[in-house]
Amino acid sequence: MTYARIGIFETDGAPVQPVLALFRDRVVARFGALSGFLGYQAFTATDDRRFVGISYWSSLEALEASAEVALQAREDAADLGAQTVGEPLITREGFDTRMVPGAP
């Protein structure tokens, strides 16, 4: 079963690109050094001042072990002017309908 941490970040009107770069270039590498990390996705809002970040983990234990890195990421994002909206949501996979390339 896959687990995920979902965080929403919002700037005060400034573009979100520097925060995205932080996550792409530094946070993913920090997560990647941890056992059980499966990947990261970031989706930006069309207003270009918010994004949703999703980290994927192989187990709840692996996700919980990443809490310190996740907290540091939120603090680093705040230094760039992006605030976390609420608390990150911890989830487990309910189902997955992603299309596999080449599948009928």
CATH of domain 3-88: 3.30.70.100
Q: Domain residues of the chain, as ranges?
A: 3-88
- Give 25-46 pLDDT, tens digit per residue: 999 999 999 999 999 999 999 8
Percent residues over pLDDT 70 in the chain: 95
pTM above 0.85, yes or no: yes
C-beta of residue 11 within 8 angstroms of C-beta of residue 99: no
* Backbone torsion region of residue 81, taken as left when φ is above 0, otherwise alpha when ψ lies between -120 and 50, otherwise beta: left
